[in-house]
Structure 1
Amino acid sequence: MIGSLTLIIALAPALAIVLILVARNGRAAEAINLAGSVITLVATLFLVIHLGGRKETFWGDYIIVDGLGVWAILCTAIVYFLASMYAVGYMRLIAEGERLNRFYAMFAGFALTTLVGPLMNNAGLYWIAIELTTLISTFLVAFEHEAASIEAAWKYIIVVSAGISLALLGTVLFYWSGTFVLGPTYDMTWARLQQAAPHLNPAVVSLAFLLVLIGYGTKVGLAPMHTWLPDAHSEGPAPVSALLSGALLNTAMIGIVRYLAVADASSIPALAHGTLLVLGALSLFVASLFIVRQTGLKRLMAYSSIEHMGMIALGFGFGGPLGVTGALYHMLNHSLNKSAMFFGAGSVMRAYGTKRIPGIHGISQRLPVLGALWLAGAVGITGAPPFGLFLSELTIIRAGLSREQYFVVGLVAVLLIVIFIGFLNHFRTMYFDDAQSASSEKGIVSPWCLAPVWLALLPLFLFGVWWPQAMWEHFQYIAASLSSISFVGTTP
């Protein structure tokens, strides 16, 4: 059952690519892509239910299906479905015919790479999967063929490729250090690395981990390697921005977490966790500075992604059951919330004909339904109750307190307050400043663009007031598998 569901998850978008290319019709392509996203999501939900706390490997141990990887796949599958639905209404406004057909083929391909990445049980294959996400998503970032989008695509591929090259060097160093323990050739699976970790040379492992952390941290968008993210997220079409933020960043974070487990089993856990905490706190600091002074609408959302990936890094950096649980819960909540925010941003930009915040006023009068939903999402994305991000951020802060990281927790608390004030101040401008001079003409938002915002925000509200016990137990299994310690009895 587990193997069959895993195969369906990979085959659904792959088959969608083939059918889209064969159909050569834009309207058929959007239907095929949407159907593929539905099949992927349903199969992923069944996989989460059937997997429980188990871990299985397939195809000569090249494929791993475990709680950590499946959770990242679930976040990706949700965003893929929501973005595919939104794209039906949004992409018709900017492309048609053969060009629309090419978009959906690349979009399904991008989803495929982010889905299979967490399944890679070989560190080298995982690197290849992450590199493929870069190659495919670059064309999506530049899809609108504007000067700014093409520049953003070039910046994206250059900066990220440089980071991924460092990750490759770190992977090679990990393999080389393992040859002194496991022999000149061996299967570089995550379990094999963890088993050999206590016997590896500390200096080599330290250098290898730092290279991997910087490399994959570039893909995650952690500061100071974040420079590609604001441009790529802001210049790509809104469905692509959602998939970049809600899916790709999580897929890259999985690699950091798997290498962190190897570091924990070696002699450098303090260095590994400490460095991750520094990058997480720095990401929040950089995001707070740019959020406060931002004038670009989608760039505002992009810097918010840097903030939240910093929070996830802090959760894994604090470690333990609370840290891991908070980080995993934050992954899901951020994927839902940021998707809704990019969907709303895309519709607002189309309605007002501008990407600049100062040029947008009176949203609640012009787009009443979408405006209400988008404002709720803005409150949620700042980590305010009663939305899911508040609960996950609170759990991460509790993890820091339990680890006696009082300075880091205090700094994070201050930065979160600054971000809350700065982010919502921009929405005050767009909703209330000069509202009387704003156009009273009602804007029309396609149901295809409105429905995914509802579908993202409703569970986000639910997860803010109720934490499902089954989900908590699933996170505990993952935390135990990462640290080889049982945390039975821990409660939310």
Structure 2
Amino acid sequence: MSLTVRLLILLLAPLLVVLLGLGVRRARFSEYLNLAASIAVLLVALPLPFLGGLPTTLLGGYLLVDPLGAWVVMCVAVVYLLSSIYAIGYMRHDVHREAQLPLFYALLAGFALTMLIAPLVNSIGVYWIAIELTTLVSTFLVGFERNAESMEAAWKYIIVVSSGISLALLGTALLYWGGTFVYGQTYQLTWASLAHAAPQMPPVLLKMGFLLALIGYGTKVGLAPMHTWLPDAHSEGPAPVSAMLSGALLNTAMVGIVRFLAATDAAGQGALPHAALVILGVLSLLVGALFIVRQRQIKRLMAYSSVEHMGVLALGFGFGGTLGVAGALYHMINHSLAKPLLFFGAGNAMHHYGSKRIDDIRSVWQVFPVSGAIWLCGAVAITGAPPFGLFLSEFAILRAGWTRPYLWAAIVMLLLLIVIFVAFLNHFRAMYLAESSIAPVEHEDWYGGWRVVPMALSLVPLLVLGMWWPSSWTVLFHTIANALGATP
């Protein structure tokens, strides 16, 4: 199968869900069509990072298929499939939503489409547009419940993120201006042309452009202190949407920061950008830890865990080096597997207990004997404990920081991860061991396999990746690190 055919399937499959779903307007047709599209997307995306002949450009240079972008696309495809399976059981729970389901699946597929396009965009200006499109589409999903809390979260999401993204646009304009000193008044600003021109740009324009892009796209990533939209959006949207926001969307914005960082490294001006990224990473871990300790709402607990893990990613890329980049890339896929599992478990609990409060969720062992066990394993995994994949990725990032000028950041990271481990699992201890007046559910038939299978599909690779780092992935990570200019 040629690369062009792969990309056509990758982009046309979710587009067909949008067009046919809105045209036919039948709930069952839409949910199964979306499921088929997500399977097709995953089958195409899984081998994409490992294809020969990369990087390559298509559509007159507007699309760039390189190992980094393909890796992020693979992460998006994984979360899209898991969320599509879970959504069938979750969205059917409320029979009053039946007429709204075609719209929901059209928006879900449209959201996936924007996230599949963004990592492959070569023009920096068009990349900004693609990221803004992810915001516009996902805003309707955040507010899909149409209650006061979800509508407030949707408005907060679009206002905060769009304001932040406007700073990224200003940073892009400054970098374009810097490129005019090399290329003249008009030229095509691509990732390659930026890296080529960066050594000859005025350093002040290069650094200011990066810092503005870091703040702008860092807002979309959810790095503290620009994270204020994230807890509300993640907690008020339907559980499949929360999984997509956390496990897929945040990576698509992080890839832009990484590409800008590579340009500053190419110019030999990477000290300040790396330091800024490390500081935001540490701050995100600190904010995540503080709010996880005192959290009282189950989905907000998962949301602040996302802030924490985006901080871990920022530290990996900020520490740099082959090991730091490899650890961050490995952390991307592990987080994309673990966070849907946690949001799915939270969705099951919220439906059964009729509450988002952690204090109201009790005796999970008895109420959910199957999915409860999987959910608890996911909670252990997300804290970075062995034998799950996040332990390996966080350990690699710690090693990268331990041998570089950011030893202080690595030490703070280790201490905060310990705090988060204790606090996060303490909430689960209360939910699992405290007594509840709600009767157990025999065989968990009330929501069916649609809500258990995707949790198991998340957990199994998390366990495998915690014990086995594929050798082909090591080669891929080294290739990406070299392309980004990382030194051993």
Instruction: Give the TM-score of the pair, scaled to structure 2.
Output: 0.97
- In 2, Cα distance between the equivalents of 1:223 and 1:441? 40
Deviation of 1:389 after TM superposition, in Å, equals: 0.2
Pairing 1:354–2:355 present: yes
**How far off is 1:333 after superposition?**
0.1
Pair 1:475-2:459 in alignment: no
Aligned equivalent of 2:70: 70
Query: TM-score under structure 1 normalisation?
Result: 0.97
Which residue of 2 is the match for residue 165 of structure 1?
166
Correspondence for 2:55: 55
| Cα distance in 2 between the residues matched to 1:73 and 1:374 | 26
Report if the CA contact (8 A) 2:322-2:486 is conserved: no
- Aligned partner of residue 469 in structure 2, secondary structure: coil
Q: Per-residue deviation at 1:300?
A: 0.2
Give 1:456 deviation, angstroms: 0.4
The 2-side partners of 1:140 and 1:484 are apart by 38
2:111 aligned with 1:99: no
Structure 1 SS opposite 2:447: coil
Q: What is the letter of the counterpart of residue 466 of structure 1?
A: W
Q: Measure, in 2, the Cα distance between the counterparts of 1:44 and 1:303.
A: 29
Name the SS for the 2:51 alignment partner.
Answer: helix
Partner residue of 1:84? 84
Classify the secondary structure of the residue corresponding to 2:323.
helix
Name the counterpart of 2:267: 266
Matched with 1:462 is 464
Cα distance, 1:68 vs. partner? 0.4
Structure 2 counterpart of 1:151, one-letter code: E
Please name the residue that 1:37 is paired with. Answer: 38
CA distance in 2 between partners of 1:438 and 1:423 (Å): 24
Partner letter of residue 91 of structure 2?
M
Tell me how many residue pairs correspond in the alignment: 484
1:117 match: secondary structure: helix
Q: Distance in 2 between matches of 1:450 and 1:484?
A: 41
Which residue in the other structure is 1:25 paired with?
Answer: 26
Cα offset, 1:438, TM superposition: 5.0
SS at match of 1:472: helix
Task: Give the counterpart letter for 1:452 in structure 2.
Answer: P
Partner of 1:439: 439
Residues 337-389 of structure 1 show CA distances to partners (whole Å, capped at 9, x for unaligned) of: 00100011101110111000000100010110011000000000000000000
Deviations 1:390-418 (A, max 9, x none): 00000000100121422111101110000
Q: RMSD value over aligned CA atoms?
A: 1.2
CA distance in 2, matches of 1:49, 1:330: 18
Q: How does 1:400-439 map to 2 (within 5 A)?
A: 400-434=401-435, 437-439=437-439
Contact 1:6 1:47 in 2 (8 A): no
Q: Return the letter of the residue paired with 2:15.
A: A
Distance 2:359 2:316 in 1: 35
Contact 2:115/2:252 (8 A) holds in 1: yes
Counterpart check, 1:278 vs 2:272: no
State the SS of the aligned residue for 2:46.
helix
The CA deviation at 1:96 is: 3.4
2:378 is matched with 377
The unaligned stretches of length 5 or more in structure 1 are 488-492
Same amino acid, percent of matched pairs = 58
After TM superposition, give the deviation of residue 445 of structure 1 in Å.
3.2
Secondary structure at the residue paired with 1:483?
coil
Q: CA deviation at 1:14?
A: 0.9
Cα 1:441–1:83 change in 2 (3 A) is: closer
Deviation at residue 267 of structure 1 after TM alignment: 4.0
Q: CA deviation at 1:60?
A: 1.3
> CA offset at residue 441 of structure 1?
4.7
Farther off after superposition, 17-26 or 80-89: 17-26
User: 2:48 touches 2:71 (CA, 8 Å); kept in 1?
Assistant: no
Say whether 1:209 aligns with 2:175: no
Distance 1:67 1:91 in 2: 35
Contact 2:240 2:344 in 1 (8 A): yes
* Contact 1:5 1:46 survives alignment (8 Å): no
C-alpha contact (below 8 Å) 2:48/2:74 kept by paired residues: no
Q: CA shift at 1:199, angstroms?
A: 0.5
What does residue 200 of structure 1 align with? Answer: 201
Distance in 1 between residues matched to 2:148 and 2:211, nearest whole Å: 35
State the match for 1:490 in structure 2.
none
Q: What is aligned with 2:256?
A: 255
